[in-house]
Structure 1
Amino acid sequence: ESMIGKPVEAYYATRSAIQRAIDTKYAAQIGEEVDEAMEDVGVLNLNSSFAVQDIAGQGLDNAPVAKIVNMILDYAIKHHSSDVHIEPREGKISVRYRIHGILSEKLTLPNKLGPSIVSRIKILANMKIDEHRIPQDNRFQVRSGERLVDLRVSVMPAIYGEKVVMRLLEKGADVLSLEQTGLRGPAYKSYKDGLAKTQGILLITGPTGSGKTQTLASSLAILNTQEVNILTVEDPVEIRVDGVTQVQVNPEVGLTFASALRAFLRQDPDIIMVGEIRDAETADLAVQAALTGHLVLATLHTNSAAGALPRLLDMGVQPFLLSSTINVIVAQRLVRRLCDDCKQPVESTEEEMRVLHESLDPLHGLDLKESSGEMLHFDSNTTKVKLYKPVGCPKCADSGYQGRIGIFELMTVTEKIGKMIMGHQSAAEISAQAQQDGMLTMVQDGYIKALDGMTTISEVLRVQNV
């Protein structure tokens, strides 16, 4: 203060937070970085292989193509991309990133670099670099600063060359609370009630990338105490939960979901989590575990909560077993969350009011306390509402969105719904009964979150039929 003649305010920030701020403010675009590396492309060194590549420190390989691959991966990690697509096309190589569920092209490269980039990735993933005719799959790890990331790699031959898709799974990722995932209100209470039971099945359904794993991890964090033995079988283990025994399937040696479940029953479990019910054998074992006094959490690929029932019936599970073992079914999707720093209020359009009324009028009036503390009333006579639109700022990398949030529908298997299952009634009929009992559909939950300024109606429509 004596040197500058002004008062100084001290702030505390972690090293990683400071690095993120520097990256956001000063980092060059990936295209500019790759252009510099491409000037050095010449003789390529593709003979080194290692398990963990340090892509942000001294471990950086000096080969030009290795630099380009490292830059592609570093960009993915810094921007929290879930997938990277390296695609050969006519006249170019396209590099696309899936960020917050949206796939967009961030970089194009000359065709001549394609084989060398694919070979480099094959070396990192310990694949056969001279095999170009059949698909290959494997995985490797990279380190960027303090972050360690698992990459699942798939290489597929196509007409213009081999296409690479890499799925990024950050090790040590934080486990969100259920509230942070977006589960709230009556659905949150019903879900917590389901977790409090000592036996039965709690199902999470949705397509790939809908946040099922995070919801399960949040659930395990609640259940995880010294008094219970929790066992999970997953493919792969994406989120590690301290104090929980997590097993990763390995079909090559016979460790499948079904074989792991059989072994679990001899491990004195209280709670069992099944990463995915894929076949009749796994479904039958999950039901038997629930019948013998265990709480079973599992995921299934269906489009709605009620849609899980015919899926399990198709796998051969008897209706009377479903009605007596399933406690709660949750269906979910992920929508992009509006950036709180730059979102702007707008008046709803005529089309937006049409879809809102179509979905929310069956609720016969809605009183919502917004995150801002304001009260909002919506009913069949409402003509205009305040919504929000994405704008873009440095904090959200000019996208208008920051992170994602879940939209949910939760169906409790009541005695009435149990009888409908026994009577082989359709998923649509069961869903209609659940809505009469008070279930919000995913779309209704999404529109309520749009009214609360968390997301947009267009985002809900985008994932509605995924």
Structure 2
Amino acid sequence: MTEEIFDADEAISFLKTSRPTFYRWLKSGRIQGFKVGKQWRFYKKDLVGFMESSGTDFVMLKREFKEIITFFEEKLEKKGIERSNDMSETITYPDEKELLTKKALDGLLLDALTDKASDIHLEPLRQGFMVKYRLGGSLKDIKLLSLDIATEVIFRLKEMSALKTDVTDKVQKGNIVIETDKIAEDKKFDIKVSIIPAFYGERIAMRIVSVTKIETTTNRGFEILAFQGHDLEQVQKIFNKHFGLIIITGLSGSGKTTTCYAALNYLVKRYAGKANIMSLENPVEYPLEGLVQIPVRPEMEGQGFYELLKASWDQDPDVIFTGELPDKNTARIISELALTGHIVIVQMDSPDVLQAVARLSDLGLEPYLLASSLEGVIAQRLVRCICEHCKEEFIPSPQIIEKYFPPMKEKVSLYRGKGCKECHGTGYKKRAGIYEILNPDTDFKEALARGENVNNLKKILQKKGFETLREKALKSALFGMTTLEEALRVSYSS
């Protein structure tokens, strides 16, 4: 008797599953088949055997999925939110496993969004995958997923991100656009997905960006940054100049991009259409109005920062922004642009204003050129703010006062968060910027032209009352914006 043989389409129909799930089973070896030429063929008896053997496994998997779905539903219910059915694009789900995967992932995403998480991580461990949220700048463990559940969730994430579902040993990047009516102030999100192979499996990091907030804030100026004291006045003084080099610097994740876009928008409003403003970015993060944004592609010939800066010079610009300063040639051309009547804004990675200046010297920019072109440097950090719902005042020890606040003779009060449901027990909610601002005067520029080192430049600034990031951070603790521990953490290298 001839054994019944199915082709791939017939096998998918027989198993009542979807094509992606079927080929995932085939790739993992759970389904046995053979090829006739380039086409797969399957014995019916092998498919029946697969169905019988996987029945018990699926019952266990289904139980795990329902536990995960219930976990996130209960979390959402405590926040007064019903489970969403609109978190991902419309896809037909003929396979129950895929439907369960979608429900679990939808619950996870909505929970993270309503918790105001800035990032979601899926971290591979020996015993499974840990779901983590970044809340108020710190990672928090949320839920451990079994390997089987995580495999399905990651496959689904790859589908949503338009990534290769059959690739597990290479770095991949994509994004997911989500729309929901469950969050009052935010309706649309762009989730940037990064996948990297690790020892126990693929590690997933998802950066959450509120498209709604971007659309309402990217075309606003410095008012979105909430400067303290005289900081706004100093920053506006820098950007009201008619030419020169301006540096915006900070460590990774310190909010530089937001400050750069605020500065560009300030200049757009200042010139009111009477200036040619050009921005070189890798990549273009968000679209802005009133200027030309040029994507930089270093991997393509003629599309790097140096080449595009040279080309931009021929475009008769008034303002040029560059998102990086990769080499000596680029440093020299931005200095020449700044000295020939252009405002040049550079974004850099460095811990403070003086290290940013030193970085330009390290790139081979001569002291006299740097001194002649430099018109301002802004360094920044993000501090976690104390949760207003559980904020409490306390008196620090005399040793703490002596060490960090020696000039203060009166009683010093500090603040902290006890931890509550509003801040997920962390004591912190939201983040704010602290800024170190250098508006170079004649004495500083003369010292810079002489080639003075960082220590001597710092002494010159201190004599004139310059406030460092450490001093700004300690002030923010005194004012009750953040804790002393957080102030010391973010200003450790200042």
Q: TM-score, normalised by structure 2?
A: 0.74
- Deviates further, 347-356 or 155-164: 347-356
Paired residue for 1:299? 347
Q: Which has the higher helix share?
A: 2
1:209 equivalent in alignment to 2:264: no
Distance in 2 of aligned mates of 1:190 and 1:396: 33
Q: Secondary structure at the match of 1:226?
A: coil
After superposition, what is the alpha-carbon deviation per residue over 1:350-393, rounded to whole angstroms, capped at 9, x for unaligned?
A: 343134225xx4xxxxxxxxxxxxxxxxx3x33x3122211345
- Deviates further, 181-190 or 331-340: 181-190
Give, in angstroms, the shift of residue 199 of structure 1: 0.7
CA 1:116–1:302: 2 relative to 1, 3 Å:
same
Specify which of 144, 153, 170 is matched with residue 117 of structure 1. 153
Paired residue for 1:417? 444
Give, in angstroms, the shift of residue 160 of structure 1: 0.6
Q: Secondary structure at the match of 1:406?
A: strand
Distance in 1 of aligned mates of 2:177 and 2:365: 39
Letter in 1 for 2:193: V
Specify which of 280, 283, 287 is matched with residue 233 of structure 1. 280
Letter in 2 for 1:450: A
CA 1:108–1:199: 2 relative to 1, 3 Å:
same
Give, in angstroms, the shift of residue 179 of structure 1: 5.2
Specify which of 161, 180, 185 is matched with residue 229 of structure 2. 185
After superposition, what is the alpha-carbon deviation per residue over 1:254-286, rounded to whole angstroms, capped at 9, x for unaligned?
A: 533333323322333222222232333432332
Paired residue for 1:376? none
Distance in 2 of aligned mates of 1:414 and 1:248: 35
Structure showing greater relative contact order (alpha-carbon pairs closer than 8 Å, 6 or more residues apart): 1
Alignment of 1:73-222 (within 5 A): 73-145=109-181, 147-172=187-212, 173=214, 174-175=217-218, 178=222, 180-222=224-266
Paired residue for 2:69? 37
Distance in 2 of aligned mates of 1:81 and 1:280: 39
Distance in 2 of aligned mates of 1:148 and 1:280: 41
1:348 equivalent in alignment to 2:375: no
Larger radius of gyration: 2
Q: Secondary structure at the match of 1:321?
A: helix
Specify which of 289, 297, 300 is matched with residue 242 of structure 1. 289
Paired residue for 1:68? 104
- Deviates further, 58-67 or 215-224: 58-67
CA 1:34–1:391: 2 relative to 1, 3 Å:
farther
Letter in 2 for 1:152: K
Give, in angstroms, the shift of residue 205 of structure 1: 1.0
Specify which of 309, 313, 316 is matched with residue 364 of structure 2. 316
CA contact (8 A) 1:169 1:238 kept: no
CA 1:238–1:348: 2 relative to 1, 3 Å:
farther
Alignment of 1:435-450 (within 5 A): 435-450=462-477
Distance in 2 of aligned mates of 1:207 and 1:406: 12
After superposition, what is the alpha-carbon deviation per residue over 1:33-88, rounded to whole angstroms, capped at 9, x for unaligned?
A: 9735389xxxxxxxxxxxxxx95377377522233333333333333333222111
Distance in 2 of aligned mates of 1:233 and 1:329: 19
1:451 equivalent in alignment to 2:451: no
CA 1:34–1:298: 2 relative to 1, 3 Å:
farther
CA contact (8 A) 2:470 2:492 kept: no
Distance in 2 of aligned mates of 1:419 and 1:89: 56
Paired residue for 2:455? 428
CA 1:392–1:166: 2 relative to 1, 3 Å:
same
Distance in 2 of aligned mates of 1:286 and 1:122: 41
Paired residue for 2:90? 59
Distance in 2 of aligned mates of 1:458 and 1:86: 28
CA contact (8 A) 1:96 1:106 kept: yes
CA 1:350–1:159: 2 relative to 1, 3 Å:
same
RMSD: 2.8
Distance in 1 of aligned mates of 2:66 and 2:234: 51
Give, in angstroms, the shift of residue 342 of structure 1: 3.5
CA 1:239–1:355: 2 relative to 1, 3 Å:
farther
Give, in angstroms, the shift of residue 333 of structure 1: 0.5
Letter in 1 for 2:351: N
Give, in angstroms, the shift of residue 394 of structure 1: 5.4
Report sequence identity in percent: 30
1:329 equivalent in alignment to 2:360: no
Give, in angstroms, the shift of residue 246 of structure 1: 2.4
CA 1:301–1:352: 2 relative to 1, 3 Å:
same
CA 1:428–1:129: 2 relative to 1, 3 Å:
farther
Distance in 2 of aligned mates of 1:155 and 1:351: 47
Give, in angstroms, the shift of residue 214 of structure 1: 1.5
Distance in 2 of aligned mates of 1:458 and 1:391: 14
Q: TM-score, normalised by structure 1?
A: 0.78
CA contact (8 A) 2:385 2:431 kept: yes
- Deviates further, 145-154 or 94-103: 145-154
Letter in 2 for 1:112: D
Distance in 1 of aligned mates of 2:201 and 2:375: 49
CA 1:114–1:394: 2 relative to 1, 3 Å:
closer
Give, in angstroms, the shift of residue 427 of structure 1: 1.9
Give, in angstroms, the shift of residue 116 of structure 1: 2.7
Letter in 1 for 2:109: L
Give, in angstroms, the shift of residue 90 of structure 1: 1.1
CA contact (8 A) 2:474 2:488 kept: no
CA 1:407–1:190: 2 relative to 1, 3 Å:
same
CA 1:393–1:115: 2 relative to 1, 3 Å:
closer
CA contact (8 A) 2:88 2:178 kept: no
Distance in 2 of aligned mates of 1:90 and 1:234: 40
- Deviates further, 337-346 or 140-149: 140-149
Paired residue for 1:15? none
